[in-house]
Structure 1
């Protein structure tokens, strides 16, 4: 949150400074290519948990029960990876990482109004995990890692001299790697997901770009990305006869995380060359 506020303050300051210049708008029409570098992090989701399908009917929300009939996961959940398989409070937060990539686009200028489209490919490293704790005791962690983003966005801005504050938004597709880990050695755990690791969604943000020459500009940008990621599931099978995961259906119990949204914040610097 502090990073978001700092980025917003920096963008606002640059925009205000450009407005104060009250210059005639520079010419922004034309094609451009550029590079971006910055930092991305996962939006907090403290109420996320793991849900179960004990009868394998495709509907999640069943309660996994011990031999005595109590909730096997009464110990709770945490948003992150665990450092202790017995305590939900021993969890680390989700991880962010650096971002870098390339973009290309085209702008059209109508007076002070500048409208354009751009395509972008970004390499990133953002991790999002959720952990469940059973009465065994054992921990079960479902994790996803965003390795890359492709985006196609529109943007609209208001040119003041050599400075262009703008808003931007459009389509995004993420390359997500899923993983599962557990301290449970009695059961077998298998990925039963049907689709690939591509997640689709959208982006929205804003920024400011400033020309340092007629052809070269520098910028600062904030982006919010939301990806739909609801396909990853893991099946617990085997183990002792009549155990918690096979007492309802002998084939096992499926795990899935409650949140199908992978939400990412990013602050980036950009350098652009215009033709």
Structure 2
């Protein structure tokens, strides 16, 4: 009886050692935890600043062939709000820029009078935005109303009027932190004719702008 008990104990110990060795052979080391970045969300309000370059043409409507060829730097600020639904982002943005976009009077593309200068002194837009989130990049189109001040200067004889028009464009924006994004944007704005010099002297103009911006989200 004692011999049988010892035999059973020896058999049980051998089985336990065999099971432990088998379990050791099957051990799979734990994989290190790698945190993943949370999915980007564009929902919320933001404010920001931008700088860029603009170029365009003002047209002397009643004098065929006469235009102003304008170009220069721009700088301004913007504010807006976004709402994200899955990968679709809807938004509304307002901006204002102070510009150095100006140029001389031309006839059929050749300089006519360098002292007769047109300048876009400021420009503002109110636009809707529709975009898609592509792996953290917001790619969007935009369109809305535009308003700007056109200043005509000829020695001591000058005229400043406000023009209303439309703006369309596209851009791309990327979050670089949880609250800061960078963007690049192109806009085309076209402004209807307005009489200058308090008389029947209609002028119209358009402008292309390319901008880089920084937004703070909250």
TM-score by length of 1: 0.57
Establish whether residue 214 from structure 1 lines up as the match of residue 178 from structure 2: yes
Q: Which residue of 1 aligns with 2:210?
A: 267
Partner Cα separation in structure 1 for residue 182 and residue 163 of structure 2: 30
Q: Which residue of 1 aligns with 2:127?
A: 153
Establish whether residue 162 from structure 1 lines up as the match of residue 136 from structure 2: yes
Confirm or deny: 8 A CA contact 1:220 1:269 kept in the other structure. Answer: yes
For 1:122, which of 97, 101, 125 is the aligned residue?
A: 97
Partner SS, residue 55 of structure 2:
strand
Confirm or deny: 8 A CA contact 2:60 2:204 kept in the other structure. Answer: no
Distance apart, 1:123 and its partner CA: 0.8
Q: Which residue of 2 aligns with 1:51?
A: 62
Distance apart, 1:143 and its partner CA: 3.8
Determine which structure has greater relative contact order: mean sequence separation of CA pairs < 8 Å that are 6+ residues apart, divided by chain length. Answer: 1
Partner SS, residue 27 of structure 1:
coil
* Corresponding residue pairs, total: 179
Partner Cα separation in structure 1 for residue 60 and residue 77 of structure 2: 36
Partner Cα separation in structure 2 for residue 216 and residue 209 of structure 1: 10
5 Å-filtered alignment, 1:6-155, equals: 26-43=40-57, 51=62, 78-80=66-68, 94-131=69-106, 143-155=117-129
For the pair shown, the structure with the greater C-alpha radius of gyration is: 2
C-alpha deviations, 1:90-133, integer Å up to 9, x for none? xxxx231111111110000111000010111111122254356x
Change (3 A) 1:204 1:77: closer
Confirm or deny: 8 A CA contact 2:168 2:189 kept in the other structure. Answer: yes
Partner Cα separation in structure 2 for residue 222 and residue 25 of structure 1: 27
Distance apart, 1:202 and its partner CA: 1.1
Confirm or deny: 8 A CA contact 2:44 2:81 kept in the other structure. Answer: yes
C-alpha deviations, 1:231-271, integer Å up to 9, x for none? 11488xxxxxxxxxxxxxxxxxx7x36xx431100100010
C-alpha deviations, 1:134-183, integer Å up to 9, x for none? xxxx96975421011121111010002211000011111102212236xx
Question: Structure 2 regions of 5+ residues with no counterpart?
Answer: 1-36
TM-score by length of 2: 0.70
Larger strand proportion of the pair: 2
